[in-house]
Structure 1
Amino acid sequence: MITDPLFYLCAIPAVLLYGIAKGGFGGNIAILSVPLMSLVISPQIAAAILLPILCAMDLIALRTFRGRWDKANLRIIVPASLVGVVLGALTFRVLNEAHIQVMIGAIALLFVLSIWLRRDNPPPKGVSPVRGSFWGMVSGFTSFGIHAGGPPINIYLLPQRMEKTVLMGTIAVFFMVVNLAKVPGYIYLGQFTTSNLLTSLVLLPLAPIGVRMGFWMLQKTNEQVIYKLCYIFLFFTGGKLLYEGVQALMTG
């Protein structure tokens, strides 16, 4: 088990941030958790420690939203995400993490800028098997290695302008399936060491605290504000991923 106090100084806010995101408030802030923990440990170990905690958070979020999700979307994006998870597991040892960061960062930035620079106010988009399958697969793929599945699935779901709890409930169900599907791959790749699992256990009590905080903040916030925050977090998330990916490629 990790005993370094500096690690917990980074890990505790990282876990709480992820919980707040799982509770429905600004889902893309979760992308900060792995980099925050990576200040003191490797990103791979950080991802392995977080995964069991994320699975627990998903179960809490599922109970919190209690059936408030969009089944039509889930029938499309969930199967596609499983394909992405398998691809992520198969390429985990050979794929450069920086390339994933650049790809997702650039897509997220271009998507948000296209929304902000658009002069008209387009009607909400509907459910799309083609777009949903593509972004669901991309989300599963990027989620496997660096827990960065939020931006791709938000690119598909946000333009539909669902009611805020339905949107967050749909995301909660989606990532519950994705995270559980990642577990066999992490076991196979030897990511769940005794030290990692014991550290996850120590941090686990923070899971319900973070989720409840996020759900409380969601209930107290106007729906338009939630969507604006989602786009803002998506923009900064994309910028962060793009910057880190380009920096890694230049120095590597």
Structure 2
Amino acid sequence: MIELFGYSLSYATLSLLFVVAFFIGLAKTGVHGASMFAVPILALIFGGKTSSGLMLPMLILADLFAVKYYHRHANWQYLMKLFPSAAVGVVIGTLLGSSIDDEAFRLMMGIIIFASLAIMLWMEKANKDKIPDYTWFAILMGTLGGITTMIGNLAGSVMALYLLSMRLPKNVYIGTAAWFFLVINLFKVPFHVFSWHTISINSFLLNLICLPVIALGAWAGIEVVKRIPEKQYRWMILAMTAIAAVFMVI
């Protein structure tokens, strides 16, 4: 066992933490389904709600790498539609998360992944074109994104549903998502610190030792995305979400 900032971790657990950090870096720079593997791994080690607070600073660190590389590709028209309702969703998610236990928390994570995946696959199979850019749709997706990002850091699948439905080009999709999650994740920090008490100095120090691994994952994600054509990139996101959804409930 290793004592790190108040945490007693085995070598296996520490290795899994680094795997999570790598997946987070990989996901934030374009291989978005990879973060779905990180969520259940961390939840199994630390519990649902505690793991969401431990993961948040790692997500923010990875968001910074993603914004640095893809910032020029962001579509701010979509972002400005999403931010207000996403903030409301974070507040709703905070209230929901404060009233449920870890088991129910994980069940909600699984339901969110499967529901989002089913809609995404239906859209692809039905060969649906871009959903009309209605304000109500942006408000709905922003609210769901805010709720799901607070409950288990699982807004990736919701945002994938919205941004893929807008038929954004690969780099615009990644850049828009990068800015969305950086802003919303920073907005979530006070709720984790003062309401859920899931972020502390010790947990943040544990996050910092993962920074080199997050950076490695971010670099790997950039290199992978460069080599994937537009159409195959869409299916990669769907496939990785499907695999991770199964992993979440077994």
Residues 150-195 of structure 1 deviation map (CA, whole Å, 9 limit, x = unaligned): 1111111112221100001111011011110110001112112333
For structure 1, which runs of at least 5 residues remain unmatched after alignment? 245-252
Alpha-carbon distance in 2 for matches of 1:156, 1:66: 19
Aligned partner of 1:221 among 228, 237, 240:
228
Residues 77-109 of structure 1 deviation map (CA, whole Å, 9 limit, x = unaligned): 122111111111122221331452354134223
Write out aligned runs for 1:56-205 (5 A). 56-95=61-100, 96-118=104-126, 121-188=127-194, 189-205=196-212
Alpha-carbon distance in 1 for matches of 2:134, 2:201: 43
Kindly tell me: are residues 42 and 101 of structure 1, through their superposed partners in 2, closer, same or farther at Cα, counting changes over 3 Å?
A: closer
How much has 1:240 moved relative to structure 2? Answer: 4.5
How much has 1:11 moved relative to structure 2? Answer: 0.7
For structure 2, which runs of at least 5 residues remain unmatched after alignment? none
User: TM (normalized to structure 2)?
Assistant: 0.88
Amino acid at match of 1:125: I
How much has 1:203 moved relative to structure 2? Answer: 1.1
CA RMSD of aligned residues (A): 1.9
Secondary structure of 1:146's counterpart equals coil
Secondary structure of 1:40's counterpart equals helix
Alpha-carbon distance in 2 for matches of 1:50, 1:102: 17
Give the equivalent residue in structure 2 for 1:236.
Answer: 243
Alpha-carbon distance in 1 for matches of 2:244, 2:133: 25
User: TM (normalized to structure 1)?
Assistant: 0.87
